[in-house]
Amino acid sequence: MADQRVAIVTGGSGGIGRASAERLGADGFAVVVHYAGNRDRAVAAAGAVTGAGGRAVVAGGDVADETAMAAVFDLADSEFGGVDVLVHTAGIMPLAPVVDLDLDTFDRVQRTNVRGTFVVDQLAARRLRPGGAIVNFSTSVTRLQMPGYAAYAASKGAVESLTLILARELRGRDITVNAVAPGPTATPLFLDGKSQQLIDQIASANPLGRLGTPTDIAETVAFLAGPGRWVNGQVLYVNGGAA
């Protein structure tokens, strides 16, 4: 299957990452499901792809570690023959007001979310085949200005800048670079630590009257990874009209 397209999905053990891996698998991609800490969930995600008739392997590593992430790209090469698409969903979201946030936590957010994006985007820029796509992840909080999200939103503002500049730097390569900016989405990352009352309040504030689902976000990922070739250097707000 030398002509099969190949995708790496970072954070593939998480809600949006797993949904994206499964959707790309259904679209015919061979998928490398990356995980940082939860190998069992990554294996389950890969199993969902192979169980539906697709091809998938798992790979672990810290997204901010260039050696570990180079090994993920190497695995894609050895298992599937190359890489066409990077879907970079991996990230962390500790929340606290600016006045209270521990600076070590701030540094950890920037290392994972900013350096991690730079590391995997750099590898993708060097190694993706023509016709490929880089799909980074931002957040609608960069528009919503929600208290408590300053460190996270700051990191994602940096991701947006990196995305827009890299798209221009890859002129002539036939590689698109975009960022998906979800709104409130029913994933463990979002739901953790929130009361049901707060979750219901956030859901009801959306014009469509609900939270997003990982599948909603994966639809946009699949579009950018596949037919959406004329969308490049953009941040797509995928939030049901929340912002």
At 56-71, the pLDDT tens digits run 999 999 999 999 999 9
Q: What is the mean pLDDT of residues 95-118?
A: 98
- Write down the pLDDT at residue 193: 78
- Write down the pLDDT at residue 243: 63
- Write down the pLDDT at residue 2: 55
Question: Distance between CA atoms of 110 and 40, rounded to whole angstroms?
Answer: 26
How far separated are the first and last CA of the chain, in Å rounded? 42
Q: What is the mean pLDDT of residues 98-109?
A: 98
Identify whether 99 is part of a domain: yes
Identify whether 201 is part of a domain: no
| Residues taking part in catalysis | 152
- Write down the pLDDT at residue 78: 98
Identify whether 58 is part of a domain: yes
- Write down the pLDDT at residue 236: 97
Identify whether 241 is part of a domain: no
Strands 55-60 and 133-137: unpaired
- Write down the pLDDT at residue 227: 96
Q: What is the mean pLDDT of residues 104-115?
A: 98
Identify whether 203 is part of a domain: no
- Write down the pLDDT at residue 189: 73
The model carries a pTM of 0.95
Contact 120, 62 (CB under 8 A): no
Overall number of domains in the chain: 1
Identify whether 196 is part of a domain: no
Render pLDDT for 161-173 as a digit per residue (tens, 0 to 9). 999 999 999 999 9
- Write down the pLDDT at residue 91: 95
- Write down the pLDDT at residue 83: 98
CATH code at position 109: 3.40.50.720
Specify the range with the lowest mean pLDDT, choosing from 121-130, 182-191, 205-214. 182-191
Identify whether 15 is part of a domain: yes
- Write down the pLDDT at residue 181: 97
- Write down the pLDDT at residue 144: 86
Residues forming a β-bridge with 59? 34
Question: Distance between CA atoms of 163 and 177, rounded to whole angstroms?
Answer: 6
- Write down the pLDDT at residue 228: 97
Identify whether 92 is part of a domain: yes
- Write down the pLDDT at residue 192: 79
**Which residues span the domain enclosing 113?**
6-183+215-234
Q: What is the mean pLDDT of residues 88-115?
A: 97
43 phi and psi angles, rounded to 5 deg: -60, -40
**Average pLDDT, whole number, for the chain?**
95
Q: What is the mean pLDDT of residues 88-96?
A: 95
